[in-house]
């Protein structure tokens, strides 16, 4: 069994694909599917019943997206030009979650 992922299936070598007996394409989950995935991931956790998953996931990503932007602004303050922000990373999301947990503990 071979398991592989790509975000550019059109660039896969046809010779490789011919050697595989079957190939499955699983697209990006839509909003409803992401909500269901998040609910499954949180199964067994203490979760309030009135969570707006769509809003919360959007806010998490929006806050995490500020990290690369802040880095560009910091570089520009130092006189260095950055043409494009770096990609959003797992670490950015984890930073937002960690900050959120600290805020909840301080408030609680």
Q: What is the pLDDT of residues 41-87, one digit of tens each?
A: 888 878 788 878 877 777 888 888 888 888 888 888 999 887 777 88
User: What whole-number distance in Å separates Cα of residue 82 and Cα of residue 53?
Assistant: 34
Q: Hey, what domains does the chain have and what are their CATH numbers?
A: 29-107 (1.10.8)
Which residues make Cβ contacts (< 8 Å) with residue 37, sequence separation at least 6? 29
What per-residue confidence (pLDDT) applies to 29? 82
What per-residue confidence (pLDDT) applies to 102? 65
What per-residue confidence (pLDDT) applies to 105? 58
Give the pLDDT mean for 92-96: 86
Each residue's pLDDT tens digit, 12-48: 888 887 888 877 777 778 888 888 888 888 888 787 8
User: Distances from the Cα of 36 to the Cαs of 27, 49, 52, 61, 92, in angstroms?
Assistant: 15, 14, 12, 17, 23
- CA atoms within 13 Å, Cβ hemisphere of 52: 5
Is there a contact between 101 and 108 (Cβ–Cβ < 8 Å)?
Answer: no
**What's the token pair of residue 36?**
């269901």
């Amino acid at each position: 069994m071979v398991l592989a992922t790509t975000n550019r299936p059109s660039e896969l070598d046809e010779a490789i694909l011919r050697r595989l007996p079957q190939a499955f394409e699983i697209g990006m989950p839509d909003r409803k599917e992401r909500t269901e995935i998040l609910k499954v991931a949180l199964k067994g956790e203490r979760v309030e019943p009135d969570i707006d998953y769509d809003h919360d996931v959007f806010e998490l990503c929006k806050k995490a997206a500020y990290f690369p932007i802040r880095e560009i602004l910091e570089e520009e303050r130092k006189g260095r030009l950055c043409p494009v922000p770096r990609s959003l990373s797992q670490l950015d999301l984890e930073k937002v979650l960690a900050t959120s947990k600290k805020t909840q503990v301080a408030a609680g």
